[in-house]
């Protein structure tokens, strides 16, 4: 069941309809979300919808089709097939723990 609430925007006075979204998550995920929300200066209720929307937009943007000529596509495939060039910056990045792993 979806619950909808109407509230008024504090500045414009326009009615805003909101829906409730209930989730079951692991305790460690909740802790991670709370840490990120705190770091962003937000509470969980503000942070989660914004982060979920960003992730949804990025996911859908990745599905977009880019139409290119056969030559451009072949150049792209050739570059993908090339062996990666290793450098000190890449080595350092690969050996560094992600922020959420510390």
Domain boundaries, the chain: 25-82
Residue spans of the chain under pLDDT 70: 1-4, 9
The reported pLDDT for the residue numbered 84 is 80
The reported pLDDT for the residue numbered 9 is 67
Could you tell me if residue 13 is left (phi over 0), alpha (psi between -120 and 50 degrees) or otherwise beta?
left
Q: For residue 77, give the DSSP letter.
A: H
φ/ψ of 18, rounded to 5, equals: -125, 150
State whether residue 90 is helix, strand or coil.
helix
Q: What's the number of CA atoms in the CB half-sphere (13 Å) around residue 23?
A: 12
Q: How many CB atoms lie within 10 A of CB 15?
A: 9
Report pTM: 0.52
């Amino acid at each position: 069941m979806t619950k909808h609430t109407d509230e008024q925007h504090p500045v414009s006075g326009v009615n805003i309809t909101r829906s409730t979204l209930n989730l079951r998550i692991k305790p460690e995920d909740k802790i991670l979300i709370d840490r990120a929300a705190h770091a962003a200066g937000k509470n969980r209720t503000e942070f989660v919808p914004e982060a979920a929307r960003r992730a949804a937009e990025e996911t859908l943007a990745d599905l977009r089709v880019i139409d290119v000529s056969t030559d451009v596509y072949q150049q792209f495939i050739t570059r993908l097939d090339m062996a990666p060039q290793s450098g000190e910056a890449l080595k350092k990045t690969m050996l560094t723990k992600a922020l959420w792993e510390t």
